[in-house]
Amino acid sequence: MKRLTKIVTQINTDWKECVNNFILLKSAEGLSQRTIDDYKYHLCHFFNKYGNVLDDYEALKKAVLEYFAESSELAADTFNIRRKYLKCFFAWCLHEGIIPANPLDTIHKKKSEGRIRPIDTDTLEALLKLPDKNTYAGLRDYTLMLLSLDTGIRPSEALALTVDDVNLKSQEIYIREEVAKTRVSRTLPILKETALSLAKLIAITQKTWDTKNIFYTCEGNPMTINVWKQRMWQYSKKLGKPISAYDLRHAFAIMYLRNGGDAFTLQRLMGHTDMEMTKRYLKFSQTDLQNAHQTASPLNRLLPKKRRVRNIKPRD
């Protein structure tokens, strides 16, 4: 009789089964539905193109190289997103013993400056004057604009706020972990003007629809990202300048730094997981920093001031 010395476990390399198991894990980790959908899209996009290459590592490496060679002309952010989702999946496959190594370890991220479009103060002032605050839609839009420019809150986080997340007395709003993109809760201070606008909107919303949600369409449906994007597009047309809902978040970050805020506090307010994201905004305040340095450098007091030299009279 043959001697049995080692039990060999059969590893399932069917890509659909592997993707399903991976998605289950990510769902159990509490990732948002949007992130789950992004994983599904990018993984299926790759495997629908190259088939079941998980059972042949050399074929997998070649497929990955071809895939990202074709993606080389894409914008850096799009390239990096594809790489991020696939690399995370292959890291799981490596941990599960499905593949011997991660084929994306040798493909590096593209350097990205991020899509940040500075908005001048005059344009923002003009934008805030556009909503008709005598209508529900106008008051709602104005409140969303104030909230975005006062806190840098993400559009999805703002639209998910309920009355329980707002403390008008202490002038704070609370971003729940299940709502936050990074799944980390945070508390954001707000100014009196923002609190007053929120209070007015909440009173109308609760009286009309008797609900804890704050932002609704005029028909009584919860306001969605797409609806808010459409509203901002309409305001942009009136302004003659393109401004998206997310541009208001960028405007907050840039102006916060220009007005003397520090990068570490900004990181906490924005809900960034690390300083790399926050650093993107620093370059937009470099001119302001140079001007401030000219005024505030200690050498202005320590070194004697030089007299301005005018015309030098020649000696006789």
pLDDT over threshold 60, residue 309: no
- Alpha carbon distance 301, 296 (integer Å): 9
Crossing angle of helices 136-151 and 121-129, rounded to 10°? 150
Lowest-confidence segment of 59-73, 257-271, 299-313 by average pLDDT? 299-313
314, part of any domain: no
**What is the CATH number for 218?**
1.10.443.10
pLDDT tens by residue, 11-55:
778 899 999 999 999 988 888 787 889 999 999 999 999 998 998
169, part of any domain: yes
Clarify whether residues 88 and 165 are in a common domain.
no
Structure confidence at residue 5 (pLDDT): 55
36, part of any domain: yes
Structure confidence at residue 8 (pLDDT): 46
Of 238, 171, 166, 158, give the one whose Cα is nearest residue 203: 166
- Alpha carbon distance 258, 305 (integer Å): 28
Clarify whether residues 142 and 205 are in a common domain.
yes
Structure confidence at residue 295 (pLDDT): 66
296, part of any domain: no
Clarify whether residues 38 and 175 are in a common domain.
no
- Strand boundaries in 51-185, DSSP class E: 166-167, 172-175
Rounded to two decimals, the pTM is 0.68
Clarify whether residues 91 and 126 are in a common domain.
no
Clarify whether residues 35 and 183 are in a common domain.
no
Task: Give the DSSP H/E element, type plus range, for residue 130.
Answer: none
Clarify whether residues 53 and 168 are in a common domain.
no
Clarify whether residues 35 and 142 are in a common domain.
no
Clarify whether residues 146 and 233 are in a common domain.
yes
Q: Which residue has the higher pLDDT, 183 or 60?
A: 60
Residue 272 lies in domain? 121-287
Clarify whether residues 139 and 272 are in a common domain.
yes
Clarify whether residues 144 and 78 are in a common domain.
no
108, part of any domain: no
**What is the CATH number for 73?**
1.10.150
pLDDT tens by residue, 43-62:
999 999 999 899 899 999 99
52, part of any domain: yes
Lowest-confidence segment of 167-176, 232-241, 267-276 by average pLDDT? 267-276
7, part of any domain: no
Crossing angle of helices 33-50 and 57-70, rounded to 10°? 110
Q: Could you give the number of structural domains in the chain?
A: 2
Mean pLDDT over each residue of the chain, to the nearest integer: 86
Clarify whether residues 242 and 152 are in a common domain.
yes
Lowest-confidence segment of 180-184, 231-235, 245-249 by average pLDDT? 180-184
pLDDT over threshold 60, residue 310: no
pLDDT tens by residue, 59-102:
999 999 999 998 878 778 788 899 999 999 999 999 999 999 99
Q: Are strands 166-167 and 172-175 parallel, antiparallel or unpaired?
A: antiparallel
Clarify whether residues 125 and 75 are in a common domain.
no
Mean pLDDT, to the nearest integer, of 202-209?
Answer: 92
Structure confidence at residue 119 (pLDDT): 85
